[in-house]
Chains A and B, each alone.
Chain A
Amino acid sequence: DAGVTQSPTHLIKTRGQQVTLRCSPKSGHDTVSWYQQALGQGPQFIFQYYEEEERQRGNFPDRFSGHQFPNYSSELNVNALLLGDSALYLCASSLAGARLDSPLHFGNGTRLTVT
């Protein structure tokens, strides 16, 4: 049973460029959440997708956008990259109908470096 998979594992971009990160949820899960983890900090919630729509959003600018596909996989897009966007981006999946205290399943993340 595959867990949450993210691609690519590492990425280097230049300021001003755009980037797309990808996530496949754990089998059977229908909800995908994205988190940004800056170096030395805890992850911060970016947004959550369910039924192909953004259901909830954290305190991130509109440069951060996402998409969920019919097969529940998801993409995170970041436009006009800034040096401060350098971070580990984590994808987490869950089942919408599960208990609210059900744990999220995390992928290993994509390490984005902006130069």
Chain B
Amino acid sequence: AQSVTQLDSHVSVSEGTPVLLRCNYSSSYSPSLFWYVQHPNKGLQLLLKYTSAATLVKGINGFEAEFKKSETSFHLTKPSAHMSDAAEYFCVVSDRPGGYNKLIFGAGTRLAVHP
């Protein structure tokens, strides 16, 4: 069965410093992995996705993630945090029994950005 584990429930950074949100995955086949962001009282927005092409994936708003098969990791990074980055972030793996797209979410990491 597919699963993801987000290693930190809360991460706090200062504005202008790097962001690292950690995610490990478990999958019995080559996974499709995603990072979604959720701002308060909003729906989920896709940040980026990995689909077995390049292992370094660039997303929106300066975020990127690197797929490391040997470490079963898909960590999300950003060189310089902005106040508007404060939100809940979800690492997600696509579960594809029968070929249908069903997403399995991690528990989430709440990112706080301080001035």
CB of A42 within 8 A of CB of B100, answer no
Please, how many residues of chain B have a CB less than 8 angstroms from a CB on the other chain? 26
Given contacts A42-B108, A44-B105, A45-B104, contact A100 B99 (CB under 8 A): yes
* Alpha-carbon gap, A33 to B94, bound state (A): 13
CB of A108 within 8 A of CB of B41, answer yes
* Alpha-carbon gap, A99 to B34, bound state (A): 14
Given contacts A45-B102, A55-B100, A103-B49, contact A108 B42 (CB under 8 A): yes
Q: Does B46 lie at the interface of the complex (its beta carbon under 8 Å from any beta carbon of A)?
A: yes
CB of B90 within 8 A of CB of A42, answer yes
Interface size class of A (residues with CB under 8 A): 20 to 34
Q: Chain A CB within 10 Å — which of B96, B103, B105, B108 has the most?
A: B103
Binding site for A on B (CB under 8 A): 32, 34, 36, 41-46, 49, 51, 90, 94, 96-108
Binding site for B on A (CB under 8 A): 4, 31, 33, 35, 40-45, 48, 55-56, 58, 90, 92, 94, 99-104, 106-109
